[in-house]
Structure 1
Amino acid sequence: MSDLTGKVALVTGGSRGIGAAIAKRLAEAGASVAVTYVNAEEQAREVAKQIEADGGTALVIQADLTRPATAAQAVEQTVRELGGIDILVNNAGFLAYGPLGEVTPEDIDRVLAVDVTSIILAAQAAAPHLGRGGRIISVGSCFNGRVPGGNFVLQATAKAALVGLTNSLARELGPQGINVTTVDPGPIDTDMNPADGDTADFQRGLTALGSYGKAEDIANAVAFLAGPGGNYITGTALAVDGGYTT
């Protein structure tokens, strides 16, 4: 198990699903954890309550990280109230699905703002506080390597952009001892993509294991990269997709 005792983590979009699982897993490993939310305050506070009930330390921050000032404020609040920041987990994302002909300029702006811009802004704010051994870990998607069909143009574009972003940040921040990686989930059972949903059987058929993963599977991968196991891993993506991209 990764030992993150004494570390401080900021998990964006940590109120539910994969983000909530990551926050709880990092806290279980010993980290103090800040979670951000945009609208789901009750859910975010429930995550914090569970962390604290298990003996951990949690902080809840309302923040739209697509705004430069807000992203900086979230990092500064984490540093101020938890004593620093060692791990930034960019989990906040926006699911976009639909045919090309129905894509609007507003859709494009929203997806790129949440899935790309917010990650750049959060990394920009966190990097000056991350010392040697610091981590920036982003949650991507199996779509950056294999798109199963049409109607995913926005999602695939945004997640593919994350590949270049991760590679570039790894090169730039490597001399400071900061590791930058991505975890790419396959079909994961969450309220946004339930294992009993309309397309669930199709998605299972795209994996080598023939099954959905759990949010905890992604959380375990993030904890591994955040801990000693990730010391020599940077500028790359870890696929946690049940063999989706094989």
Structure 2
Amino acid sequence: MRVRIVGIGMGPDQLTPEAAAALRGCDYAVAARKRRDDGLFDLRRAVCDAHGVPLVAVPDPERDRDDPADYRAAVADWHEARVRAFEQVLAERGGTAAFLVWGDPSLYDSTLRIVARIAERAEIPVEYDVLPGISAPQLLAARHRIVLHGVGRPVHVTPLRRLDEAVAAGHGDIVVMLGARAAFEGLEEWSVWWGANLGTGTEELVAGRVGDVLPEIGAARARAKERAGWVMDTALLRRPS
């Protein structure tokens, strides 16, 4: 069978023509559903409905999210549970299946690793390819009309839990993903460009000096979560010159 890993940006308006064509050529799509009222699953369904592709729900295995001592091992266990769950659906249905990935599959997403693991296990023969999508950092830069780095300078991308390491390492332009909440303690003099639920109807944007806009970010994040039932936020932090 064939699997197509499709980057979908943040929903129906974010698919590239290439990604949309790939999705329409699939027999069905699969997606993990965390609970019955999963707003992100519903957004994936809207993408599939827009392209006439049925969406199959796969119950998402539980994951230890309380900052376990062995983070890598906890994630590996979760990935393996997901492999088995998705593998069962693919074996039952066959055909060509789409995996819908928020943003772009290359950034902080486990789908590529999971599909590669399914192929390695060889329980079912699987061929797969990847269709890129519009990533959260791209959307953030577009919404704020900024370049993510200084002239000829690098930009560092990190999850929030490793922000302190990035700051200590001397990085001057830092894109924070996976929970860019209003928790930038000690960075009050830095500049921030922040966004939540980018590319959706519940999008929120805040920019300014960190020490001045932290309360505004907190309020905007709460609004986005209340309106959508979920929140995904990203921020660019820039060291003062």
Common fold: TM-score over 0.5:
no
TM-score by length of 2: 0.37
- Larger strand proportion, structure 1 or 2? 2
Larger Rg: 1 or 2?
2
